[in-house]
Homo-oligomer: A and B are copies of this chain.
Amino acid sequence: MRPDQVRTLLEAVQSGTLDLTSAQRELTSALRRAPFEDLGFARVDHHRVIRQGFPEVVFGQGKTAAQIATISERIVAAGHSLLITRTNHDVFEAVRIQVPGAVFHETARLISQVTEEPEPGHGTILVVSGGTSDQPVAEEAVISAETMGNRVERLYDVGVAGIHRLLSEQERLGQARVIIAVAGMEGALASVVGGLVRAPVIAVPTSVGYGTGFGGIAALLSMLNSCATGVGVVNIDNGFGAAALASLITHA
């Protein structure tokens, strides 16, 4: 039960449009779920929207389709928006039986449904990526950030091997409030972008590459050691995590 739902209920009691017995029953039921709901295998955190500004997000990997569908139904039943990461089409088939309005974003491997309209963020989040192979991670960031109420722009395939592709877009870089830099291989994109702008840069190393790329470690180390200042790093391939951090900044 969100704050505005509580207020609406109280106003209905005050104005006499809701009798006390019904109000009590509704509040009691909501409180039973608060601050989390125990499904045995999971404890759904219904207060996260209050603590963090966005409802609990379901990390899809390692959970069965049935578990995800059940959790999804409870989140939506509590009036919250739904976001499932690292998922696939089979899970989507199970989820949409419980949550008919859910949408599957194939490239981003996300399922989402906007139940409560998110508070809009201030300014634009620009998602910059090094190469075509980084697209799934970049899209995970884009769709996640949009679902959290942000205006998002894409600037893809601007890796530093052909740096004029990036330099020709300096104006867009300069207008963003937060930049998410997604890159695999040597991950130099974060340093170069970080040196060009005064916006905070959230760097996402991707597992794109081979050999000594070590599944994203080369890019990760590159980003952690960036000689440019103002760069924060999230886990390898963690497009969602970058979006969540960026969204906290645009909502601060």
Question: Residues on A close to B: CB < 8 A?
Answer: 35-36, 40-43, 45, 47-48, 51-54, 56-57, 59, 61-63, 67, 71, 86, 123, 130-133, 135, 156-165, 167-168, 177-178, 185-188, 191-192, 194-200, 202, 205, 207-238, 240-241, 244-245, 248-249, 251-252
Contacts and interface: CB of A to CB of B under 8 A. Distances in A.
Given A42-B156, A186-B191, A161 B245 contact: no
Contact of A156 (B40, B59, B71, B238): B40
Instruction: Please list the 5 inter-chain residue pairs (A to B) with the smallest Cβ-Cβ separation, ordered nearest first.
Output: A232-B232, A211-B236, A62-B133, A188-B188, A218-B221
B160 A200 contact: no
A212 B202 contact: no
B252 A225 contact: no
A118 B132 CA distance: 27
A158 B43 contact: yes
Nearest to A133: B62
Contacts of A192: 160, 163, 188, 192
A216 to B, nearest CB: 6
A234 B224 contact: yes
Contact of A235 (B67, B165, B211, B216): B211
B156 A41 contact: yes
Contacts of A130: 227
A149 B123 CA distance: 22
B230 A52 contact: yes
Contact of A225 (B197, B209, B225): B209
A51 B36 CA distance: 26
A212 B227 CA distance: 13
B123 A191 contact: no
A41 B188 contact: no
Given A232-B245, A249-B200, A225 B158 contact: no
Contact of A233 (B67, B227, B234, B251): B234
27 contacts: A35-B162, A41-B135, A47-B164, A54-B229, A57-B229, A59-B131, A159-B227, A161-B228, A178-B252, A185-B226, A186-B226, A192-B192, A200-B245, A200-B249, A205-B211, A211-B216, A212-B224, A213-B235, A218-B221, A218-B225, A221-B222, A225-B235, A229-B245, A230-B245, A231-B241, A231-B245, A232-B234
Given A67-B132, A160-B160, A212-B216, 17 more contacts: A42-B132, A45-B161, A48-B162, A52-B197, A71-B132, A159-B227, A161-B228, A162-B195, A163-B196, A188-B227, A205-B211, A207-B211, A211-B225, A212-B220, A229-B244, A232-B234, A233-B233
